[in-house]
Copies of this chain bind each other. A is one copy, B any other.
């Protein structure tokens, strides 16, 4: 696949897009630090009283339902509606889709308000969102990404979204187009917020370029290569989390281009 990773990363760092996040309590700090390390400017606001105004000054909106509750859902809906009106890209992370009826109902509501530019989740979540019969286990995937190809394609066609499925091989689907990203290391599943940060990084890239398929691929490659860089420093999860943030800042456009494994 012919993607100019170098130029995208240079642009991200020079433009430092403001990414508005309505995300979960568990990952907020890590996600904000990941965006800062990569070169973006994060803002986290969720109140119905201000999300529309924050969306208006942001380059992209990231919505993550990891620790949802009604006041937050109200903020998500207003923010998505406003983003759609302003043609701002939206990334939706359906954390724990399938785990509870409430999550499923909220996701259905959100998807009637606006079609996400990118939907990013693990295989269980994507399959649950597409209505596939799948047993989920909380927020961790019980399926491998390639199993979700049919579900991802169906979702992509239904909502006109790019669907990005994280796993040993990341699967990125845009209608009939498919890309496979083979970067990353298994240890990434042992640190909370890696998937959420992948969604946020996708938000950063989709804020600076008009092709969401490329933005999603780019984010998957950036996450995966930085995971590989961190893994060369440490194989333990606490220090890996830190080394991963370091890698997001340390990676050069050339590193990224050379290390990308996309088919």
Contact in complex: A96, B237 (CB < 8 Å): no
Least Cβ–Cβ distance between A65 and chain B, in angstroms: 10
Contact in complex: B57, A70 (CB < 8 Å): no
**A130 in the interface, Cβ–Cβ < 8 Å?**
no
Query: Considering only CB atoms, which chain B residue lies closest to A244 in the complex?
Result: B238
Please classify the interface of chain A as helix (H, G, I), strand (E, B), loop, or mixed, using the class held by over half of its residues. Answer: mixed
One of A38-46, A110-118, A167-175 at the interface: A38-46
Contact in complex: A99, B53 (CB < 8 Å): yes
A116 CA to B102 CA, complexed, in Å: 26
Least Cβ–Cβ distance between A209 and chain B, in angstroms: 19
A30 CA to B234 CA, complexed, in Å: 19
Whether A41 contacts B140 in the complex (CB less than 8 A), given A25-B25, A50-B100, A100-B53, comes out as yes
Contact in complex: A238, B241 (CB < 8 Å): yes
A218 CA to B71 CA, complexed, in Å: 39
Task: Report A81-125 CB contacts with B as 1/0, cut-off 8 Å.
Answer: 000000000000000100111110000000000000000000000
A103 CA to B51 CA, complexed, in Å: 11
**A3 in the interface, Cβ–Cβ < 8 Å?**
no
**A132 in the interface, Cβ–Cβ < 8 Å?**
no
Which residues 25-40 in A have Cβ within 8 Å of B in the complex? 25-30, 32-33, 36-37
A77 CA to B36 CA, complexed, in Å: 31
Task: Report A202-246 CB contacts with B as 1/0, cut-off 8 Å.
Answer: 000000000000000000000000000000001011110111111
Contact in complex: A191, B41 (CB < 8 Å): no
A241 CA to B36 CA, complexed, in Å: 12
Residues of B within 8 A of A28 (CB): 25-26, 29, 67
Residues of B within 8 A of A243 (CB): 238-239
Of the candidates A25, A27, A136, the one having the most CB atoms from chain B within 10 angstroms of its own CB is A25
Least Cβ–Cβ distance between A22 and chain B, in angstroms: 10
Residues of B within 8 A of A20 (CB): 138
Contact in complex: A237, B102 (CB < 8 Å): no
Instruction: Using CB atoms and an 8 Å cutoff, list the residues of chain A in contact with chain B.
Output: 18, 20, 24-30, 32-33, 36-37, 41-47, 49-50, 53-54, 57-58, 66-71, 96, 99-103, 136-140, 190-193, 234, 236-239, 241-246, 248-250
3 tightest CB-CB pairs across the interface, nearest first?
A238-B245, A43-B138, A236-B246
A selection of 20 A-B contacts at a CB cut-off of 8 Å is A26-B32, A26-B44, A29-B29, A42-B139, A42-B192, A43-B96, A43-B99, A44-B66, A50-B68, A54-B100, A57-B99, A190-B249, A236-B245, A237-B245, A237-B248, A238-B242, A238-B244, A238-B245, A238-B248, A242-B242
